[in-house]
Structure 1
Protein backbone atom coordinates (compact mmCIF):
# COMPACT_ATOMS: atom_id res chain seq x y z
CA UNK A 1 0.00 0.00 0.00
CA UNK A 2 1.30 3.46 -0.85
CA UNK A 3 2.23 5.87 1.90
CA UNK A 4 0.42 9.15 2.41
CA UNK A 5 2.08 12.25 1.01
CA UNK A 6 4.97 13.16 3.37
CA UNK A 7 3.71 10.45 5.74
CA UNK A 8 1.05 12.81 7.05
CA UNK A 9 -1.57 11.40 9.40
CA UNK A 10 -4.44 9.63 7.69
CA UNK A 11 -6.94 12.21 8.95
CA UNK A 12 -5.24 14.76 6.64
CA UNK A 13 -4.89 12.42 3.67
CA UNK A 14 -8.49 11.42 3.02
CA UNK A 15 -9.83 11.90 -0.48
CA UNK A 16 -13.21 13.04 0.80
CA UNK A 17 -11.98 15.85 3.03
CA UNK A 18 -8.58 16.91 1.63
CA UNK A 19 -8.54 20.29 -0.11
CA UNK A 20 -5.50 19.35 -2.20
CA UNK A 21 -5.03 16.47 -4.64
CA UNK A 22 -1.56 15.41 -5.77
CA UNK A 23 -1.48 13.39 -8.99
CA UNK A 24 1.83 11.69 -9.87
CA UNK A 25 2.55 11.16 -13.58
CA UNK A 26 5.68 9.01 -13.99
CA UNK A 27 6.19 9.49 -17.74
CA UNK A 28 9.24 10.24 -19.88
CA UNK A 29 8.25 8.93 -23.29
CA UNK A 30 9.40 11.97 -25.28
CA UNK A 31 12.45 13.20 -23.35
CA UNK A 32 15.23 13.92 -25.83
CA UNK A 33 18.33 14.04 -23.61
CA UNK A 34 18.64 12.65 -20.09
CA UNK A 35 16.16 9.92 -19.27
CA UNK A 36 14.75 9.26 -15.84
CA UNK A 37 11.95 11.76 -15.27
CA UNK A 38 9.55 8.83 -15.03
CA UNK A 39 11.20 8.19 -11.65
CA UNK A 40 10.61 11.77 -10.52
CA UNK A 41 7.30 11.31 -8.66
CA UNK A 42 8.75 8.48 -6.58
CA UNK A 43 11.89 10.50 -5.77
CA UNK A 44 9.80 13.57 -4.99
CA UNK A 45 7.56 11.62 -2.62
CA UNK A 46 10.55 10.02 -0.91
CA UNK A 47 12.15 13.45 -0.36
CA UNK A 48 8.84 14.82 0.92
CA UNK A 49 8.95 12.30 3.76
CA UNK A 50 11.91 14.23 5.22
CA UNK A 51 10.27 17.66 5.08
CA UNK A 52 9.63 19.71 8.20
CA UNK A 53 5.91 20.35 7.80
CA UNK A 54 5.98 23.68 9.63
CA UNK A 55 6.76 26.52 7.20
CA UNK A 56 8.66 29.37 8.87
CA UNK A 57 7.86 32.06 6.31
CA UNK A 58 4.09 31.66 6.39
CA UNK A 59 3.94 30.44 10.00
CA UNK A 60 1.71 27.59 8.90
CA UNK A 61 1.31 23.83 8.56
CA UNK A 62 -0.42 23.58 5.23
CA UNK A 63 -0.71 19.78 5.28
CA UNK A 64 -3.57 20.24 7.76
CA UNK A 65 -5.66 21.53 4.85
CA UNK A 66 -5.54 17.91 3.67
CA UNK A 67 -3.42 16.51 0.85
CA UNK A 68 -4.71 13.42 -0.92
CA UNK A 69 -2.16 11.39 -2.88
CA UNK A 70 -4.00 10.04 -5.90
CA UNK A 71 -3.05 6.93 -7.82
CA UNK A 72 -0.34 7.58 -10.37
CA UNK A 73 -1.36 8.01 -13.99
CA UNK A 74 0.44 4.98 -15.37
CA UNK A 75 -0.74 5.06 -19.01
CA UNK A 76 2.41 5.19 -21.15
CA UNK A 77 1.74 3.28 -24.36
CA UNK A 78 1.77 6.45 -26.45
CA UNK A 79 2.15 10.16 -25.66
CA UNK A 80 -1.43 10.70 -26.84
CA UNK A 81 -2.80 8.00 -24.54
CA UNK A 82 -0.85 9.42 -21.59
CA UNK A 83 -2.11 12.93 -22.25
CA UNK A 84 -5.71 11.75 -22.53
CA UNK A 85 -5.41 9.83 -19.25
CA UNK A 86 -3.95 12.87 -17.47
CA UNK A 87 -6.75 15.04 -18.85
CA UNK A 88 -9.44 12.69 -17.54
CA UNK A 89 -7.85 12.37 -14.11
CA UNK A 90 -7.41 16.10 -13.66
CA UNK A 91 -10.91 16.82 -14.93
CA UNK A 92 -12.39 14.34 -12.44
CA UNK A 93 -10.74 16.00 -9.45
CA UNK A 94 -11.47 19.53 -10.66
CA UNK A 95 -15.14 18.59 -10.77
CA UNK A 96 -14.97 17.79 -7.04
CA UNK A 97 -13.63 21.30 -6.29
CA UNK A 98 -10.17 20.13 -5.24
CA UNK A 99 -6.99 22.19 -5.60
CA UNK A 100 -5.31 19.93 -8.13
CA UNK A 101 -1.53 19.59 -8.38
CA UNK A 102 0.56 17.37 -10.63
CA UNK A 103 4.10 16.07 -10.27
CA UNK A 104 5.72 14.70 -13.43
CA UNK A 105 7.39 13.25 -15.35
CA UNK A 106 8.44 15.24 -18.33
CA UNK A 107 6.76 18.41 -19.50
CA UNK A 108 4.43 16.77 -22.02
CA UNK A 109 2.28 15.71 -19.05
CA UNK A 110 1.20 19.36 -18.77
CA UNK A 111 -0.64 19.32 -22.11
CA UNK A 112 -3.61 17.28 -20.89
CA UNK A 113 -3.51 19.05 -17.53
CA UNK A 114 -3.76 22.52 -19.06
CA UNK A 115 -6.57 21.38 -21.35
CA UNK A 116 -8.61 20.30 -18.32
CA UNK A 117 -7.90 23.48 -16.36
CA UNK A 118 -8.73 25.70 -19.34
CA UNK A 119 -12.11 24.02 -19.70
CA UNK A 120 -12.81 24.44 -15.99
CA UNK A 121 -11.71 28.05 -15.40
CA UNK A 122 -12.63 31.16 -17.37
CA UNK A 123 -10.01 33.43 -18.88
CA UNK A 124 -7.06 31.33 -17.74
CA UNK A 125 -3.44 32.42 -17.66
CA UNK A 126 -0.78 29.73 -17.83
CA UNK A 127 2.36 30.93 -16.09
CA UNK A 128 5.22 28.84 -17.45
CA UNK A 129 8.51 28.93 -15.55
CA UNK A 130 10.97 27.16 -17.79
CA UNK A 131 14.35 27.29 -19.50
CA UNK A 132 12.75 26.29 -22.81
CA UNK A 133 9.98 27.95 -24.79
CA UNK A 134 8.28 24.61 -25.55
CA UNK A 135 5.95 26.04 -28.20
CA UNK A 136 6.66 23.91 -31.25
CA UNK A 137 3.39 22.91 -32.92
CA UNK A 138 4.68 19.36 -33.28
CA UNK A 139 7.91 17.45 -32.91
CA UNK A 140 8.85 14.14 -34.51
CA UNK A 141 5.36 13.87 -35.94
CA UNK A 142 3.49 14.31 -32.65
CA UNK A 143 1.81 17.26 -30.95
CA UNK A 144 2.28 15.55 -27.56
CA UNK A 145 5.97 16.11 -26.90
CA UNK A 146 7.97 17.94 -24.24
CA UNK A 147 9.05 20.38 -26.98
CA UNK A 148 5.35 21.11 -27.61
CA UNK A 149 4.33 21.37 -23.95
CA UNK A 150 3.12 24.97 -24.21
CA UNK A 151 1.91 25.21 -27.83
CA UNK A 152 -1.69 24.38 -26.98
CA UNK A 153 -1.57 26.83 -24.06
CA UNK A 154 -0.20 29.53 -26.38
CA UNK A 155 -3.23 29.09 -28.64
CA UNK A 156 -6.09 28.83 -26.15
CA UNK A 157 -4.92 30.54 -22.94
CA UNK A 158 -3.05 33.65 -21.90
CA UNK A 159 0.49 32.23 -21.80
CA UNK A 160 3.12 34.12 -19.78
CA UNK A 161 6.64 32.66 -19.97
CA UNK A 162 9.39 33.35 -17.42
CA UNK A 163 13.03 32.28 -17.45
CA UNK A 164 13.24 31.19 -21.10
CA UNK A 165 16.80 30.95 -22.40
CA UNK A 166 16.59 28.27 -25.08
CA UNK A 167 14.31 27.87 -28.10
CA UNK A 168 14.31 26.79 -31.71
CA UNK A 169 14.19 29.21 -34.63
CA UNK A 170 10.72 27.98 -35.62
CA UNK A 171 9.39 29.08 -32.22
CA UNK A 172 10.10 32.71 -33.12
CA UNK A 173 6.99 32.58 -35.31
CA UNK A 174 4.75 31.63 -32.36
CA UNK A 175 6.20 33.33 -29.30
CA UNK A 176 4.50 36.45 -27.92
CA UNK A 177 7.40 38.73 -27.07
CA UNK A 178 5.15 40.95 -24.94
CA UNK A 179 4.52 38.03 -22.59
CA UNK A 180 7.88 36.30 -22.47
CA UNK A 181 10.46 37.29 -19.87
CA UNK A 182 13.78 35.97 -21.08
CA UNK A 183 16.33 34.91 -18.49
CA UNK A 184 18.98 37.29 -19.79
CA UNK A 185 16.62 40.24 -19.22
CA UNK A 186 15.71 39.30 -15.66
CA UNK A 187 19.18 40.13 -14.39
CA UNK A 188 18.87 43.80 -15.42
CA UNK A 189 15.12 44.48 -15.15
CA UNK A 190 14.17 45.47 -11.60
CA UNK A 191 10.46 45.36 -12.49
CA UNK A 192 10.18 42.06 -14.31
CA UNK A 193 8.07 40.49 -11.57
CA UNK A 194 5.54 43.31 -11.59
CA UNK A 195 5.44 43.34 -15.39
CA UNK A 196 4.94 39.60 -15.61
CA UNK A 197 2.10 39.72 -13.09
CA UNK A 198 0.50 42.63 -14.93
CA UNK A 199 0.39 40.44 -18.04
CA UNK A 200 -1.70 37.79 -16.21
CA UNK A 201 -5.45 37.46 -15.91
CA UNK A 202 -7.06 36.76 -12.53
CA UNK A 203 -7.06 32.95 -12.78
CA UNK A 204 -3.53 31.53 -13.04
CA UNK A 205 -2.27 27.99 -13.54
CA UNK A 206 1.48 27.55 -12.90
CA UNK A 207 3.47 25.07 -14.96
CA UNK A 208 6.89 24.88 -13.33
CA UNK A 209 9.60 23.11 -15.27
CA UNK A 210 12.40 22.62 -12.77
CA UNK A 211 15.03 23.43 -15.39
CA UNK A 212 13.81 27.00 -14.98
CA UNK A 213 16.19 27.03 -12.01
CA UNK A 214 19.89 27.52 -12.54
CA UNK A 215 21.62 24.13 -12.70
CA UNK A 216 23.94 25.20 -9.87
CA UNK A 217 20.99 24.68 -7.50
CA UNK A 218 18.91 22.25 -9.62
CA UNK A 219 21.26 19.99 -11.57
CA UNK A 220 19.03 16.92 -11.83
CA UNK A 221 16.75 17.81 -14.74
CA UNK A 222 16.27 16.33 -18.18
CA UNK A 223 17.59 19.33 -20.12
CA UNK A 224 19.75 21.64 -17.95
CA UNK A 225 20.51 25.16 -19.20
CA UNK A 226 22.88 27.67 -17.58
CA UNK A 227 21.67 31.10 -16.54
CA UNK A 228 18.50 30.22 -14.65
CA UNK A 229 16.56 31.43 -11.63
CA UNK A 230 17.71 31.12 -8.04
CA UNK A 231 15.79 30.03 -4.96
CA UNK A 232 14.87 33.25 -3.18
CA UNK A 233 14.08 35.31 -6.25
CA UNK A 234 11.82 32.49 -7.38
CA UNK A 235 10.03 32.36 -4.04
CA UNK A 236 9.69 36.15 -4.09
CA UNK A 237 8.04 35.98 -7.52
CA UNK A 238 5.77 33.06 -6.64
CA UNK A 239 4.66 34.73 -3.42
CA UNK A 240 3.67 37.85 -5.36
CA UNK A 241 1.71 35.75 -7.86
CA UNK A 242 -0.17 33.95 -5.08
CA UNK A 243 -0.84 37.27 -3.34
CA UNK A 244 -2.16 39.09 -6.39
CA UNK A 245 -3.81 36.36 -8.46
CA UNK A 246 -6.09 33.37 -7.97
CA UNK A 247 -3.75 30.45 -8.50
CA UNK A 248 -6.03 27.55 -9.44
CA UNK A 249 -3.46 24.76 -9.60
CA UNK A 250 0.08 23.90 -10.61
CA UNK A 251 2.45 21.25 -11.86
CA UNK A 252 6.12 20.50 -11.20
CA UNK A 253 7.87 18.64 -14.01
CA UNK A 254 11.24 17.51 -15.40
CA UNK A 255 12.98 16.36 -12.23
CA UNK A 256 15.45 13.70 -13.36
CA UNK A 257 16.61 12.04 -10.14
CA UNK A 258 20.27 11.27 -9.51
CA UNK A 259 20.68 8.27 -7.23
CA UNK A 260 23.95 9.71 -5.88
CA UNK A 261 22.71 13.24 -5.14
CA UNK A 262 19.32 13.91 -3.56
CA UNK A 263 19.58 17.72 -3.36
CA UNK A 264 17.41 18.27 -6.44
CA UNK A 265 14.75 15.90 -5.08
CA UNK A 266 14.76 17.89 -1.85
CA UNK A 267 14.43 21.20 -3.69
CA UNK A 268 11.43 19.91 -5.67
CA UNK A 269 9.77 18.65 -2.49
CA UNK A 270 10.37 21.95 -0.70
CA UNK A 271 9.11 24.00 -3.64
CA UNK A 272 5.87 22.02 -3.82
CA UNK A 273 5.21 22.53 -0.12
CA UNK A 274 6.12 26.23 -0.34
CA UNK A 275 3.62 26.78 -3.14
CA UNK A 276 0.87 25.11 -1.14
CA UNK A 277 1.84 27.19 1.89
CA UNK A 278 1.51 30.41 -0.11
CA UNK A 279 -1.84 29.34 -1.54
CA UNK A 280 -3.57 28.45 1.71
CA UNK A 281 -1.94 30.95 4.07
CA UNK A 282 -3.10 33.76 1.82
CA UNK A 283 -6.60 32.28 1.58
CA UNK A 284 -6.74 32.13 5.38
CA UNK A 285 -5.62 35.75 5.63
CA UNK A 286 -8.31 36.80 3.14
CA UNK A 287 -11.00 35.01 5.15
CA UNK A 288 -9.88 36.83 8.29
CA UNK A 289 -9.87 40.21 6.60
CA UNK A 290 -6.09 40.61 6.79
CA UNK A 291 -4.77 42.77 4.00
CA UNK A 292 -1.60 42.33 1.96
CA UNK A 293 0.36 44.86 4.02
CA UNK A 294 -0.36 42.92 7.21
CA UNK A 295 0.89 39.74 5.56
CA UNK A 296 4.06 41.50 4.38
CA UNK A 297 4.66 42.82 7.88
CA UNK A 298 4.36 39.33 9.31
CA UNK A 299 6.81 37.98 6.75
CA UNK A 300 9.33 40.67 7.54
CA UNK A 301 9.07 39.92 11.26
CA UNK A 302 9.72 36.26 10.61
CA UNK A 303 12.70 36.90 8.37
CA UNK A 304 13.97 38.37 5.13
CA UNK A 305 13.77 36.21 2.05
CA UNK A 306 15.22 38.31 -0.77
CA UNK A 307 17.60 41.17 -1.31
CA UNK A 308 14.85 43.66 -2.14
CA UNK A 309 13.25 43.09 1.29
CA UNK A 310 16.34 44.17 3.18
Structure 2
Protein backbone atom coordinates (compact mmCIF):
# COMPACT_ATOMS: atom_id res chain seq x y z
CA UNK A 1 0.00 0.00 0.00
CA UNK A 2 1.40 3.39 -1.01
CA UNK A 3 1.93 5.62 2.02
CA UNK A 4 0.69 9.18 1.42
CA UNK A 5 0.81 10.47 4.99
CA UNK A 6 4.17 11.16 6.65
CA UNK A 7 4.58 9.11 9.80
CA UNK A 8 1.16 7.52 9.47
CA UNK A 9 0.05 10.44 11.62
CA UNK A 10 -3.59 10.39 12.80
CA UNK A 11 -5.95 12.60 10.79
CA UNK A 12 -6.36 14.94 13.74
CA UNK A 13 -2.73 15.99 13.29
CA UNK A 14 -2.27 15.43 9.54
CA UNK A 15 -5.19 17.49 8.25
CA UNK A 16 -4.05 20.77 6.68
CA UNK A 17 -6.39 22.87 8.82
CA UNK A 18 -4.60 21.63 11.96
CA UNK A 19 -1.05 21.66 10.60
CA UNK A 20 1.94 23.90 11.18
CA UNK A 21 4.10 21.91 8.74
CA UNK A 22 3.49 20.92 5.12
CA UNK A 23 5.59 18.22 3.47
CA UNK A 24 5.67 18.57 -0.32
CA UNK A 25 6.94 15.50 -2.23
CA UNK A 26 8.59 16.05 -5.61
CA UNK A 27 9.35 12.68 -7.28
CA UNK A 28 11.55 14.01 -10.09
CA UNK A 29 14.69 12.44 -11.55
CA UNK A 30 14.97 14.03 -14.98
CA UNK A 31 18.59 15.25 -15.03
CA UNK A 32 20.55 12.81 -12.86
CA UNK A 33 23.66 11.52 -14.59
CA UNK A 34 24.62 8.25 -12.92
CA UNK A 35 22.42 6.02 -10.74
CA UNK A 36 18.74 6.64 -11.45
CA UNK A 37 15.96 6.29 -8.91
CA UNK A 38 15.71 9.58 -6.99
CA UNK A 39 12.12 9.88 -8.22
CA UNK A 40 11.36 6.97 -5.87
CA UNK A 41 12.83 8.90 -2.92
CA UNK A 42 9.66 10.57 -1.62
CA UNK A 43 7.72 7.31 -1.65
CA UNK A 44 10.54 5.51 0.20
CA UNK A 45 10.78 8.26 2.82
CA UNK A 46 7.04 8.19 3.45
CA UNK A 47 7.03 4.39 3.65
CA UNK A 48 9.92 4.42 6.14
CA UNK A 49 8.24 7.11 8.22
CA UNK A 50 5.33 4.77 8.90
CA UNK A 51 7.75 2.58 10.89
CA UNK A 52 9.28 5.43 12.87
CA UNK A 53 8.58 5.92 16.57
CA UNK A 54 6.88 9.30 16.86
CA UNK A 55 8.18 10.00 20.37
CA UNK A 56 11.51 11.82 20.12
CA UNK A 57 13.94 10.94 22.92
CA UNK A 58 16.10 14.02 22.46
CA UNK A 59 13.29 16.57 22.79
CA UNK A 60 11.14 14.36 25.05
CA UNK A 61 8.14 15.12 22.86
CA UNK A 62 5.79 13.76 20.23
CA UNK A 63 6.77 16.19 17.50
CA UNK A 64 3.90 15.25 15.19
CA UNK A 65 1.33 16.84 17.54
CA UNK A 66 2.19 20.27 16.10
CA UNK A 67 0.44 19.05 12.93
CA UNK A 68 2.24 17.71 9.86
CA UNK A 69 0.32 17.61 6.58
CA UNK A 70 1.57 15.73 3.54
CA UNK A 71 0.56 17.51 0.32
CA UNK A 72 -0.07 15.86 -3.02
CA UNK A 73 3.17 15.36 -5.00
CA UNK A 74 4.31 17.73 -7.71
CA UNK A 75 4.19 15.50 -10.79
CA UNK A 76 5.47 17.77 -13.58
CA UNK A 77 8.27 15.87 -15.35
CA UNK A 78 8.40 17.16 -18.92
CA UNK A 79 11.52 19.32 -18.39
CA UNK A 80 13.62 20.64 -15.48
CA UNK A 81 12.47 24.16 -16.28
CA UNK A 82 8.77 23.25 -16.11
CA UNK A 83 9.31 21.13 -13.01
CA UNK A 84 11.05 24.06 -11.28
CA UNK A 85 8.16 26.36 -12.12
CA UNK A 86 5.63 23.81 -10.86
CA UNK A 87 7.47 23.40 -7.55
CA UNK A 88 7.71 27.18 -7.19
CA UNK A 89 3.98 27.66 -7.75
CA UNK A 90 3.04 24.87 -5.36
CA UNK A 91 5.47 26.02 -2.66
CA UNK A 92 4.10 29.58 -2.90
CA UNK A 93 0.76 28.25 -1.65
CA UNK A 94 2.34 27.18 1.63
CA UNK A 95 5.44 29.29 2.33
CA UNK A 96 4.80 31.80 5.10
CA UNK A 97 1.60 30.06 6.19
CA UNK A 98 3.20 26.73 7.05
CA UNK A 99 6.71 25.48 7.72
CA UNK A 100 7.32 24.02 4.27
CA UNK A 101 9.47 20.92 3.73
CA UNK A 102 10.22 19.57 0.25
CA UNK A 103 11.32 15.96 -0.22
CA UNK A 104 12.95 14.85 -3.47
CA UNK A 105 13.70 13.79 -5.95
CA UNK A 106 17.00 14.95 -7.35
CA UNK A 107 18.56 18.23 -6.24
CA UNK A 108 17.11 20.25 -9.10
CA UNK A 109 13.75 20.17 -7.25
CA UNK A 110 15.14 22.56 -4.62
CA UNK A 111 15.37 25.77 -6.62
CA UNK A 112 11.62 26.31 -6.98
CA UNK A 113 11.03 26.20 -3.24
CA UNK A 114 14.19 28.21 -2.52
CA UNK A 115 12.87 30.94 -4.81
CA UNK A 116 9.46 30.87 -3.09
CA UNK A 117 11.11 31.24 0.32
CA UNK A 118 13.47 33.97 -0.91
CA UNK A 119 10.51 36.05 -2.10
CA UNK A 120 8.86 35.72 1.31
CA UNK A 121 11.79 36.21 3.69
CA UNK A 122 14.14 39.17 3.64
CA UNK A 123 17.82 38.72 4.42
CA UNK A 124 17.70 35.00 3.59
CA UNK A 125 20.62 32.76 2.69
CA UNK A 126 20.87 29.08 1.85
CA UNK A 127 22.81 26.49 3.83
CA UNK A 128 23.76 23.58 1.57
CA UNK A 129 24.80 20.20 3.00
CA UNK A 130 26.21 18.27 0.04
CA UNK A 131 29.11 16.31 -1.39
CA UNK A 132 29.05 18.48 -4.53
CA UNK A 133 29.05 22.25 -4.85
CA UNK A 134 26.50 22.22 -7.72
CA UNK A 135 27.84 25.49 -9.14
CA UNK A 136 27.98 24.66 -12.83
CA UNK A 137 26.45 27.58 -14.76
CA UNK A 138 24.88 25.08 -17.18
CA UNK A 139 25.02 21.33 -17.65
CA UNK A 140 23.82 19.09 -20.46
CA UNK A 141 21.96 21.95 -22.10
CA UNK A 142 20.03 23.18 -19.06
CA UNK A 143 20.59 25.83 -16.41
CA UNK A 144 18.20 23.90 -14.17
CA UNK A 145 20.12 20.63 -14.10
CA UNK A 146 20.81 19.13 -10.66
CA UNK A 147 24.47 20.15 -11.11
CA UNK A 148 23.43 23.82 -11.41
CA UNK A 149 21.05 24.27 -8.49
CA UNK A 150 23.43 26.32 -6.33
CA UNK A 151 24.51 28.41 -9.30
CA UNK A 152 20.87 29.45 -9.72
CA UNK A 153 20.52 29.97 -5.98
CA UNK A 154 23.62 32.18 -5.87
CA UNK A 155 21.83 34.50 -8.32
CA UNK A 156 19.33 35.15 -5.52
CA UNK A 157 21.31 35.05 -2.29
CA UNK A 158 24.36 33.87 -0.37
CA UNK A 159 25.04 30.14 -0.18
CA UNK A 160 27.09 28.53 2.59
CA UNK A 161 28.34 25.09 1.53
CA UNK A 162 29.14 22.31 4.04
CA UNK A 163 30.58 18.85 3.39
CA UNK A 164 31.83 19.49 -0.14
CA UNK A 165 34.32 16.94 -1.44
CA UNK A 166 33.73 16.81 -5.20
CA UNK A 167 34.02 19.63 -7.73
CA UNK A 168 34.80 20.13 -11.39
CA UNK A 169 37.38 22.66 -12.56
CA UNK A 170 34.68 24.78 -14.22
CA UNK A 171 33.19 25.52 -10.79
CA UNK A 172 36.38 26.90 -9.26
CA UNK A 173 35.88 30.53 -10.40
CA UNK A 174 32.55 30.57 -8.55
CA UNK A 175 33.90 29.42 -5.19
CA UNK A 176 33.72 32.01 -2.40
CA UNK A 177 36.28 30.54 -0.03
CA UNK A 178 34.94 31.90 3.25
CA UNK A 179 31.52 30.38 2.48
CA UNK A 180 32.66 26.82 1.87
CA UNK A 181 33.54 24.19 4.46
CA UNK A 182 35.18 21.25 2.71
CA UNK A 183 34.63 17.77 4.11
CA UNK A 184 38.33 17.15 4.74
CA UNK A 185 38.53 20.33 6.84
CA UNK A 186 35.66 19.47 9.17
CA UNK A 187 36.27 15.77 9.82
CA UNK A 188 36.69 14.71 13.45
CA UNK A 189 36.05 18.14 14.94
CA UNK A 190 33.20 20.59 15.47
CA UNK A 191 35.36 23.70 15.77
CA UNK A 192 33.93 25.00 12.49
CA UNK A 193 30.32 25.19 13.74
CA UNK A 194 30.53 28.77 14.98
CA UNK A 195 32.41 29.99 11.92
CA UNK A 196 29.82 28.46 9.59
CA UNK A 197 26.92 29.92 11.56
CA UNK A 198 28.56 33.36 11.43
CA UNK A 199 28.40 33.20 7.63
CA UNK A 200 24.62 32.71 7.74
CA UNK A 201 22.17 35.60 7.55
CA UNK A 202 19.23 36.04 9.95
CA UNK A 203 16.90 33.86 7.89
CA UNK A 204 18.20 30.52 6.61
CA UNK A 205 16.83 27.95 4.19
CA UNK A 206 18.53 24.55 4.47
CA UNK A 207 18.95 22.22 1.50
CA UNK A 208 20.28 18.74 2.29
CA UNK A 209 21.55 16.53 -0.49
CA UNK A 210 21.84 13.18 1.25
CA UNK A 211 25.15 12.45 -0.49
CA UNK A 212 26.58 15.02 1.92
CA UNK A 213 26.44 12.22 4.47
CA UNK A 214 29.08 9.51 4.46
CA UNK A 215 28.12 6.54 2.25
CA UNK A 216 28.74 4.18 5.16
CA UNK A 217 25.41 5.43 6.54
CA UNK A 218 23.90 6.85 3.34
CA UNK A 219 24.82 4.61 0.37
CA UNK A 220 21.47 5.20 -1.36
CA UNK A 221 22.30 8.21 -3.50
CA UNK A 222 22.88 8.69 -7.19
CA UNK A 223 26.45 9.98 -6.78
CA UNK A 224 27.96 8.72 -3.50
CA UNK A 225 31.30 10.16 -2.40
CA UNK A 226 33.58 8.83 0.38
CA UNK A 227 34.46 10.96 3.39
CA UNK A 228 31.12 12.53 4.21
CA UNK A 229 29.50 13.97 7.30
CA UNK A 230 28.38 11.61 10.09
CA UNK A 231 24.91 11.45 11.64
CA UNK A 232 25.74 12.99 15.02
CA UNK A 233 27.97 15.66 13.53
CA UNK A 234 25.18 16.65 11.16
CA UNK A 235 22.40 16.85 13.73
CA UNK A 236 24.66 18.65 16.23
CA UNK A 237 25.45 21.27 13.60
CA UNK A 238 21.80 21.60 12.59
CA UNK A 239 20.82 22.12 16.23
CA UNK A 240 23.32 24.96 16.44
CA UNK A 241 21.90 26.55 13.29
CA UNK A 242 18.33 26.31 14.58
CA UNK A 243 19.40 27.83 17.91
CA UNK A 244 21.22 30.79 16.36
CA UNK A 245 19.18 31.56 13.23
CA UNK A 246 15.60 31.52 11.96
CA UNK A 247 15.37 28.46 9.73
CA UNK A 248 12.48 29.31 7.39
CA UNK A 249 12.22 25.98 5.56
CA UNK A 250 14.22 23.06 4.24
CA UNK A 251 14.42 20.24 1.76
CA UNK A 252 15.92 16.75 1.82
CA UNK A 253 16.79 15.38 -1.61
CA UNK A 254 18.67 12.76 -3.64
CA UNK A 255 17.57 9.60 -1.84
CA UNK A 256 17.92 6.84 -4.41
CA UNK A 257 16.31 3.92 -2.56
CA UNK A 258 17.59 0.36 -2.63
CA UNK A 259 15.03 -2.31 -1.73
CA UNK A 260 17.76 -4.51 -0.25
CA UNK A 261 18.81 -1.83 2.25
CA UNK A 262 16.06 0.37 3.67
CA UNK A 263 18.15 1.88 6.47
CA UNK A 264 18.99 5.00 4.40
CA UNK A 265 15.27 5.57 3.78
CA UNK A 266 14.70 5.50 7.53
CA UNK A 267 17.64 7.86 8.11
CA UNK A 268 16.15 10.40 5.69
CA UNK A 269 12.75 10.16 7.36
CA UNK A 270 14.24 10.51 10.84
CA UNK A 271 16.32 13.51 9.74
CA UNK A 272 13.19 15.28 8.53
CA UNK A 273 11.43 14.57 11.83
CA UNK A 274 14.42 15.82 13.83
CA UNK A 275 14.59 19.07 11.85
CA UNK A 276 10.89 19.73 12.30
CA UNK A 277 11.41 19.15 16.01
CA UNK A 278 14.30 21.61 16.16
CA UNK A 279 12.07 24.28 14.61
CA UNK A 280 9.22 23.83 17.08
CA UNK A 281 11.25 22.96 20.18
What's the TM-score, normalizing by structure 1?
A: 0.88
Q: In 1, Cα distance between the equivalents of 2:34 and 2:69?
A: 32
Q: In 1, Cα distance between the equivalents of 2:256 and 2:188?
A: 30
Q: In 2, Cα distance between the equivalents of 1:227 and 1:272?
A: 22
Correspondences of 1:106-185 after superposition (within 5 Å):
106-185=106-185
Q: CA deviation at 1:190?
A: 4.4
Q: CA deviation at 1:99?
A: 0.3
Q: In 1, Cα distance between the equivalents of 2:264 and 2:36?
A: 15
2:220 — aligned with what?
220
**Is 1:24 paired with 2:25?**
yes
Q: In 2, Cα distance between the equivalents of 1:156 and 1:40?
A: 27
Q: Larger Rg: 1 or 2?
A: 1
Which of structure 1's runs of 4+ aligned residues deviate more than 3 A? Answer: none
- The answer on whether the counterparts of 2:21 and 2:101 sit within 8 Å (CA) in structure 1 is yes
Q: In 2, Cα distance between the equivalents of 1:5 and 1:266?
A: 12
Greater shift after overlay, 38-47 or 111-120? 111-120
Q: CA deviation at 1:122?
A: 0.4
Aligned residues: 280
What's the TM-score, normalizing by structure 2?
A: 0.97
Structure 1 unaligned segments of length 5 or more: list them: 282-310
Structure 2 unaligned segments of length 5 or more: list them: none
**Is 1:234 paired with 2:237?**
no
Q: CA deviation at 1:60?
A: 1.2
Q: RMSD value over aligned CA atoms?
A: 1.1
Q: CA deviation at 1:43?
A: 0.4
Q: CA deviation at 1:78?
A: 0.7
1:211 — aligned with what?
211
Q: CA deviation at 1:141?
A: 1.4
Q: In 2, Cα distance between the equivalents of 1:120 and 1:145?
A: 24
SS at match of 2:155: helix
